[in-house]
Amino acid sequence: MIFNRRDLDTKQRFGIRKLSVGVCSVLLSTLFLTFNTNQLVHADSTDKNNTGAQTTEVTRDPQSARNSKSTSHIEQNQFQSRSEAADTQVSETKDLAQTKTNKTDLEIAVKSSDKTEEKQSELELTQVKKPTEEQKSTVSPANLDKENQTEIETTTLKLDKANAGKLDAKVFAESKVTTQEDTTPILLSTPDSPTQMVVAGSTDNTVLADSVSANDTPAEVTVNYTKGQQVTFEFVDDDESGKVVESQSQVFIEGVDTTITPALSLPKNYQLAKDQSIPTGYSLPEDFTDADLVQQIHLVHAHGVTSQYTSRQITVHYVYGAGEHAGEQAAQDAVLDIYYKRTGDTDLVTNTMAADAPWLFDSSYNEDGYQNGYKVVSGDWSQLPTNWANVVASVPTIDGYKAFTSGDWTKVGSNVSTVAANEFVNPAYNTAGEGGETISGKNSIAYTDAAIVYEATANHTIYYVPAKQTETRTVKKYFKLYDPTTNTYKAADVITLSDGTKQDYGQIDIYYDRQATRFATNGSTDPSKWTTSYGDWNVDTTRGNLGVKVVSGSWSDNLTAGSQGSINMPSLPGYTVVSQSSDLGFLTYNVGQINGGSESFTGTTGPWYYRNSTTTFYVPNSLLQKTITRTINIEGQNQPITQQVTFYRTAFINADDTEIVLAAVVDNNVYKREFGDNVWNHESTDKDGIPTGTWNRVDVTKPGYTAIVDDQAVTEVAADSTVNPNMSNATVNVTYIKNAGTITINHAKVDKTYSGDPTETTIPNDITHAIDKTDSRITWPTGAEDVTLDNSDFSFANEDGTALTNIPVNVGTYHIILNQNGINKFKNLDPDFTWYYDPKTSYVVYKINKAVPNVTFQGAGTKTYDGTAINNYTTPIGLAITDAPNAGENSITLTAGTDYVWYATDAQGHKVGEAIKTAPVNVGNYAIELTDTGKNAIKNATANANNLDWAKAKISGTGTYKITEATAKATLSGENSRDYNGLAVSTDDLYAGTNGNITVTIAIPNSNETISYTLKNDDYTWDTPDHVAPTDQGTYTFTLNKDEVLAGLQAAIAADPAWKGNVGISADDLTGSATFTINPATGTATLSGSAYKTYDGKDVSLDDLNSPDGDIEVKFTHYR
């Protein structure tokens, strides 16, 4: 059994459990054990085939429980068997506190014998120090001292079950164990469910147990022990909130002075707290409390002076700040390690040095590659001071680049440093003085996160940018052609190159350079956000002709640095050169004085002579003059009539020299101008500044025709005195049209159903007409829009427009057209006006449709059931045909069973069952309906088929057929009798004997057949005062009980299939009566028995016959 160290701070309860090999049925005593500090408890099982001793090993965990007290109270608890996973009842056990024991091993031997095999088996518990895994068991906590409310601990041992079957179960169950403290016995249970045995703390070395043999009588054992209590001594760390550093436990006897073994010793790197000492012995009070079971010795951390060492590293990074390598390393980093040391008071437990111990530069350190406290890791360091001075790294030289050692990146917070980035503060820097100066011996913050100036930080950067910038400024003088027809510009190739090719511009190059002056990272590590500043641009006179080179075109000879000039402009036939700005201030061909600066010849804004490009335009001469022409073309004339007015203007260039602008000169004064796309030279007297001219009137009338200009009817082309440059050339086309109109008629389609009567074929009175001009621009003859048409102006015609001589009657499609009478009403208005009417396209559709016959199927008949079908119908079966003119009489004949059939119907008129092809004879409601064959006979009718649509005939109607139920009559008659028997007359009596003839006869109507009905109880009623069956002698009459017998009579009728449903009977159909006679009955007297008397010479008397010794009696039998 194993004591779990974690369980020692809780209540523990221990018991005997089942083992895998069975239960040993023996008598055990309650044992109180103590354990050494290094012992554990185990349970071991022995092979069932081994008849030798069995051993269970017991050891004790070195840590024992706190806050416990010995008691002798007994409680019950439940434990679970690990092998069977089921709860077993725990017998009352003696639970005492665990205490510490001497190191002597504890041995318990329990033996049992088997009488049949005469062999001994033994279970032995032995204390050992190193148990095997198979010997281990579990521990369960329990609190057994309920009376004193104190916690105690027990140790539970599991017994081996290997020999349980060899022992008597009764002996096992009735054996008892008691203790010295308490005489209450603990009963052991059966071998299959053994009692858990409790072992409590004891200072005794060994405890013996008696053995119990099979079939033995119950036994009792008393165990003597001495109580003890475990006490723990704890060393606690007051500097860490009472943390337990070490502890040691030992069992003490109450009131006994005991030496602490082994002796307590002070933990390493600790010292006793104030007023604390280490005890050598201890006496547990007899009335001890929980506080007495834990003794604390308070400690504090020991301190001493120690030294700590570290190194700090500083680095100078060399990085390209601009150019194609921006952001890349320009040279190897310069890296330097610097050695530091501090000495101070140190907590020896936590190895924590006092925070105020200063870190100081150790210039005396010359090991591990250090010299005077410095170790060069990489790069060139030009100054490594041992006295007060800055640490300085070299700045490499890179051809074509300039190094920047300070800027917006050499700062901490907002504090920008004035010290170059290749310099660092002295390693002793601390800013401890009031003015920020360094004081010797104070903590150095150089090269740490605490640094407040850039030169004290650990990482510096020097940026390299291109030392100067050069640029060539190109000046181009472009030439463009303006196309007024598309309002677009295109290159004018007027410049001839040395190879004879042409291009649209002349060019000179001007050379400039400037020096780098400033670099900034702008607070970013992204090279794309870094900026480099340069000085002013100056003309580089070392290049070209004193800074200028002519590339193409013809230029003035004096184009050099400090001078001005121009390009020579080529001429272009048919075009006018436009080179002056619209404000008359600039000319496109000039070049300003060639000097330094950042703006000259760099853009397309500013004075034209300092722009890097300007454009001179060539505009067609025709753009500066405009002739407005009107051409009149008259139909039928070979030559048109032409009229013209001409205007003039001037061209300039806009401020951006991107396009031309047009201007009009007023009163021939060039400084008095008006700009716009459509301005023209004019006099100040012209209205709104627009010059005007005149086109004269032209007569275009023609007899018999209407003249058309621009889709309008006219008589002349009007004069126009407002001709101006804003107008386009105009063309006037004069055409002629002939006067004519079209007549159409309109009405909704007329649909008429065939009637066979020609008087019903009429022309509608509401036919309308419309007249349409062949050209909307002509004028109607007077009265044309007021013509009224009537029926006489229309005629019937075939579909091809040919007029009919007779009124249509038969089915077909016809047209109504305008006849000549109606057409003449229009022609008579103006003989010279042409009218058009087409009867093939303008008409009213008149359609005579087939008549749809309305066919109603009919027939009705009714009768009372007599077993035959209906012969006489109130409405004969047949067809009623309407809406079928000229169809003739009786044109359709129907056959029963083929064209029409019968269906039985329910109370709601719904059809029930299959069709009946012959006239029904049984009672019921029936419907007579046409079959599909009958309907098809109608649809296939041929009478006047050209005008009647039999296929769409409206077929409806259902015939009715009803046979009502026949009524039967039921008659009660006859008589019967019996002798009085003291009982009421029963139904069986009515039919008993051979003389009776009581019958109920049901007469079927229209038939000679009858049905006999046998009465049942309640089918009849007696005429006695209370209508109860008679008992006494007499003759009685009874009649049918109409409320009760009716159902039986109906069932009797329905029993015959021939009458079921066809013949009925009601209460009103019940008649007749019958009689029953009760005859007087005859009684019988019977004498029997015997009597005795002693002879006395007297006659036998009545008293003698009735002597108590006799049994003579007279029995009289009768009915009452």
Q: Is the pLDDT of residue 146 over 70?
A: no
- As a residue count, the chain comes to 1120
| Other beta carbons less than 10 A from residue 699's beta carbon | 9
Q: Is the pLDDT of residue 954 over 70?
A: yes
**Mean pLDDT score, 190-219:** 40
Q: Are 977 and 1081 in contact (CB under 8 A)?
A: no
Q: DSSP class of residue 91?
A: P
727 neighbors 630 (Cβ within 8 angstroms)? no
CATH 3.40.109.10 fits 967-1077, yes or no: no
Strands 844-849 and 812-818 turn out to be antiparallel
CA-angle at 171, arms to 168 and 174, nearest 5°: 145
For the stretch 1030-1048, pLDDT in tens is 999 999 999 999 999 999 9
**pLDDT digit string, tens, across residues 672-686:** 888 888 888 887 777
Is the pLDDT reported for residue 135 higher than 80? no
Which ranges of 894-975 does DSSP label H, i.e. alpha helix? Answer: 932-939
Encoding tokens for residue 87? 């709860």
Q: What percent of the chain has pLDDT over 90?
A: 55
Q: Point out which residues pair with 412 in neighbouring strands.
A: 415
- Point out the least confidently predicted range of 172-181, 299-308, 705-714, 757-766: 172-181
DSSP string, 427-487: TT----STTS---TTSPP-TTSTT--SGGGSSEEEEEEEESEEEEEEEEEEEEEEEETTTT
Kindly list the distances between the CA atom of residue 160 and the CA atoms of 26, 128, 196, 218, 951, in Å, as whole numbers in the listed order. 11, 18, 12, 20, 109
Q: Is the pLDDT reported for residue 1071 higher than 70?
A: yes
Q: What is the mean pLDDT of residues 112-117?
A: 34
Please name the residues in contact with 349: beta carbons below 8 A apart, sequence gap of 6 or more: 237, 239, 269, 270, 301, 302
Residue 2 pLDDT > 90: no
Interatomic CA distance for residues 371 and 395, integer angstroms: 22
CA distance 101 to 232: 15
952 CB-near residues (< 8 Å, 6+ apart):
850, 852
Cβ contact 42:135 at 8 Å: yes
Look at 483-497, 808-822, 1101-1115 and tell me which has the smallest mean pLDDT: 1101-1115
pLDDT at 191: 44
DSSP per residue, 1073-1102 = EEEEEEEPP--EEEEE--------SSPPPH
Q: Give me the pLDDT at residue 819, please.
A: 94
Q: Each residue of 325-378: pLDDT tens digit?
A: 999 999 999 999 999 999 999 999 999 999 889 999 999 999 999 999 999 999
List phi, psi (to 5°) of 1072: 90, 175
Structure tokens at 434: 């009031």
Contacts of 595 (CB under 8 A, 6+ apart): 539, 561, 562
Task: Please state, as a whole number, how many other Cβ atoms lie within 10 Å of the Cβ of residue 489.
Answer: 18
Domains of the chain, by residue range, sit at: 1-227, 231-301, 306-466, 468-510+545-614, 623-691+698-737, 740-849, 854-960, 967-1077, 1084-1117
Give the type of residue at 375: K
pLDDT in tens, 970-995: 999 999 999 999 999 999 999 998 88
- Domain 740-849's class? alpha beta
Give the dihedral sign, CA 551/555/558/561: negative
For the stretch 748-761, what's the b/e string if a residue is b when 16 or more beta carbons lie within 10 angstroms of its beta carbon?
eebeebbbeeeeeb
Q: Are 795 and 847 in contact (CB under 8 A)?
A: no
pLDDT for 369 equals 94
Q: State how far the Cα of 508 lies from the Cα of 545, in Å rounded to an integer.
A: 11
Q: How confident is the model at residue 103 (pLDDT cuts 50, 70, 90)?
A: very low
CA distances to 9, 67, 283 from 292, rounded to whole Å, are 15, 8, 10
Cβ count within 10 A of residue 20: 12
| Dist. CA 125–CA 209, nearest whole Å | 10
Residue 133 has pLDDT above 80, yes or no: no
Q: Three-state DSSP class for 172?
A: helix
d(CA 786, CA 503): 79
pLDDT at 118 over 70: no
Output phi, psi for 760, to 5 deg: -90, -5
pLDDT of 898 > 60? The answer is yes
Q: Which amino acid is at 959?
A: G
Q: How far apart, in whole angstroms, are the C-alpha atoms of residue 903 and residue 961?
A: 9
231-301 is classed CATH 3.10.20.320? yes
Which structure tokens are listed for 187? 């009963």
Least reliable range by pLDDT among 36-45, 287-296, 916-925: 36-45
Q: How far is CA 117 from CA 34, 114, 121, 667, in A?
A: 37, 6, 11, 159
Q: What is the mean pLDDT of residues 950-964?
A: 91
The conformation of residue 608, written as its DSSP 8-state character, comes to: G
Q: What is the pLDDT of residue 98?
A: 34
Q: Which percentage of the chain shows pLDDT scores above 70? A: 79
Average pLDDT, integer, range 603-632: 92
CB 64 within 8 A of CB 12: no
Structure letter (DSSP) for residue 743: E
User: Average pLDDT for residues 43-56, to the nearest whole number?
Assistant: 36
Sign (positive/negative) of CA torsion 707, 713, 716, 719? negative
Q: What is the CA angle 1085-1090-1096, rounded to 5?
A: 125
Helix, coil or strand: residue 173: helix
**Token pair for residue 516?**
């780098």
8 Å CB contact between 323 and 398: no
Average pLDDT over the chain reads 80
Q: Identity (one letter) of the amino acid at 275?
A: D
Do the beta carbons of residue 514 and residue 468 sit within 8 Å? yes
Q: For residue 852, give the amino acid letter.
A: V
Whether 459 has a pLDDT exceeding 90, the answer reads yes
Is 306-466 CATH 2.60.40.4300?
Answer: yes
Quote helix, strand, coil % in the chain, to nearest 5: 10, 40, 50
pLDDT of residue 15: 38
Q: Is the pLDDT of residue 265 over 50?
A: yes
Fold of 854-960: Ribosomal Protein L9; domain 2 (3.10.430)
pLDDT band at 573 (very low <50, low <70, confident <90, very high): very high
Q: Predicted confidence band at 434 (pLDDT cuts at 50, 70, 90)? A: low
pLDDT confidence of residue 414: 87
Cα–Cα dist 906/925, whole Å: 7
What span, in angstroms and rounded, lies between the C-alpha atoms of 855 and 890? 12
| Mean local confidence (pLDDT), 217-234 | 67
Q: What is the pLDDT of residue 1118?
A: 61
pLDDT of residue 66: 34
Cα–chain center distance at 571: 79
What average pLDDT does range 807-825 have in this prediction?
93
Say what the pLDDT of residue 1100 is. Answer: 81
- Helix, strand, or coil (residue 286): coil
Contacts of 392 (CB under 8 A, 6+ apart): 381, 382, 383, 422, 423, 424
The answer to whether the 306-466 and 854-960 domains have the same CATH topology is no
Query: Which tokens belong to 98?
Result: 């665990």
Give the C-alpha separation, 877 to 958, whole Å.
10
Strand order in the sheet with 155-157: 31-32, 197-200, 155-157
Q: Does residue 252 come out as left (phi exceeding 0), alpha (psi in the -120 to 50 range) or beta?
A: beta
Looking from the CA of 834 toward its CB, the CA atoms found within 13 Å total 10
